[in-house]
Structure 1
Amino acid sequence: MTYQLYYWDGLQGRGEFVRLALEEARADYVEVARGDEQDGLGTAAMIGVMDSRTEPYPPFAPPFLRDGDLIVSQTANILFYLGPKLNLAPQVESLRYVGNGLQLTIADVVTEAHDTHHPLASGMYYEEQKEAAKIRATDFIDHRIPKFMRYFERVLKQNPAGDGHMVGDTLTYVDLSMFQLIDGLHYAFPRAMKHFGQHYPRLAALHDAVLKRPNIAAYLASGRRLSYNETGIFRHYPELDKDAR
């Protein structure tokens, strides 16, 4: 059965973490919001699910995934559900919870990256909070990126299975999500990330290894991969970027 992925059209956003898993597994899926309204798709169809008065557990916001009659919301929860189905979860059941914990930590970084350009309120334009954004971005670059990345680098180093994976001894959705996090930070803060590979060689190697995977490489070169832009989570505002300490 075809999976239905619901996320805003024109944005990588949090939906991209789910897309990467679906693309790596070559799963059959459709992007509902990017579809034609004549086919019952489009943004209105996505909003209709969220505003539904008949769905027993309507999702609060995208991304969410429909698999038959089941709707799964929240990025980490979607990947926790999809991982075993797509052969992108650890084979050892206990490690699946470890992977979920790592995914939730990645989600924490994503939220903080978003808040560098919207530190006061999501409903305000960036231009209305630029001064606060400079303060938040400086702290993010000087303190938060190093704190998170030192942790993730240590996880790679201390993984008993080794092999350059975040959890277990095979590729999982956590590796794909780490790729997307690092890639997004490179776009948003190229000056701050300039020496990333020197400071975090294992993370840099993981990023490059995912980049070279055939299914991921084909996806990144296709029209299905949306470009980074200044309406998504990872935004490049030169005035917020600076050299890392």
Structure 2
Amino acid sequence: MAYELYYWDGIQGRGEFVRLALEDALADYVDVSRQSGRGMGTGAMLELMRSKNEPHIPFAPPFLKDGELIVSHVANILFYLGPKLALAPDDEKLRYVANGLQLTITDLVAEVHDTHHPIATSLYYEDQKEAAKARSQAFIVERIPKFLGYFEQVLQQNQRGLSHIVGDTLSYVDLSLFQVIEGLRYAFPKAMNAYAANYPGLTGLHDAVAKRPNIAAYLRSERRLAFNEEGIFRHYPELDLAP
């Protein structure tokens, strides 16, 4: 039975972190909101979230349906999928390390979102541009080095080698870090260009993931939507700066 991935249509967003894992593993899955027909589309996703019969309704997408089981939140979904897709360490203890790293990525993604929506998600970006500019400056100067510096250090100190962030084989965390670097380069090209030399390990990891056959095929496909100004990573030139 195919996995069912539920997320908003038209954007990569948080759903892309799950999608990369499914694509790398060539897993059988359905991107529900992007499909038409009975039981498909955004309407089907919203109907499931509002269901009076489903005992464990999710708060928000993304969420994954595997048979009768519904798993919500990116890190939780990847923690569930990792062993099934051979994208988690064999060592059970290291699986918790991987989960901790993924949760840190969740924190980073939330801060990225707040660069363009620092006051309220209910307001348009245009309604909070001045606050967004201040928030973005702080994010670029303080938070990008904080997060990327941490991941670079973890990568450099991995006793199993520098090819992966945890363990000695590819994990979903490596795929997620690829997406983080891709997203930050899109949203803040000036900043990321200035920081490029500071994180050689992450750059190498990003490039290695991009060359993986299944990922490379996915990136060339129509399934990989382009970044846009409706998703998490948005490029507003006025928010970008070289630190």
What residue in structure 2 maps to residue 173 of structure 1? 172
What residue in structure 1 maps to residue 109 of structure 2? 110
TM-score (ref. length: structure 1): 0.98
Partners in 1 of 2:160 and 2:135 — Cα distance?
Answer: 37
Structure 1: which amino acid aligns with 2:189?
P
Unaligned runs of 5+ in 1: none
Partners in 2 of 1:229 and 1:194 — Cα distance?
Answer: 20
Give 4+ residue runs of structure 1 displaced > 3 Å after superposition.
Answer: none
TM-score (ref. length: structure 2): 0.99
What residue in structure 2 maps to residue 146 of structure 1? 145
CA contact (8 A) 2:156 2:162 kept: no
Partners in 1 of 2:131 and 2:146 — Cα distance?
Answer: 21
CA contact (8 A) 1:197 1:203 kept: no
Structure 2: which amino acid aligns with 1:230?
E
**Percent of aligned pairs with the same amino acid:** 68
Partners in 2 of 1:161 and 1:88 — Cα distance?
Answer: 16
| CA deviation after TM superposition for structure 1 residue 40, in Å | 1.7
Task: Map 1:76-225 to 2 at 5 A.
Answer: 76-225=75-224
The secondary structure found in structure 2 opposite 1:193 is: helix
CA contact (8 A) 1:12 1:228 kept: yes
What residue in structure 1 maps to residue 32 of structure 2? 32
| CA deviation after TM superposition for structure 1 residue 164, in Å | 1.7
Partners in 1 of 2:100 and 2:68 — Cα distance?
Answer: 27
Q: Deviations over 1:194-235 (max 9, x none)?
A: 133311000000000001111000000000001100000000
Partners in 2 of 1:222 and 1:122 — Cα distance?
Answer: 31
CA contact (8 A) 1:153 1:203 kept: yes
Partners in 1 of 2:216 and 2:196 — Cα distance?
Answer: 20
Q: Are 2:1 and 1:6 aligned?
A: no
What residue in structure 1 maps to residue 235 of structure 2? 236
What residue in structure 2 maps to residue 60 of structure 1? 59
Partners in 2 of 1:49 and 1:95 — Cα distance?
Answer: 34
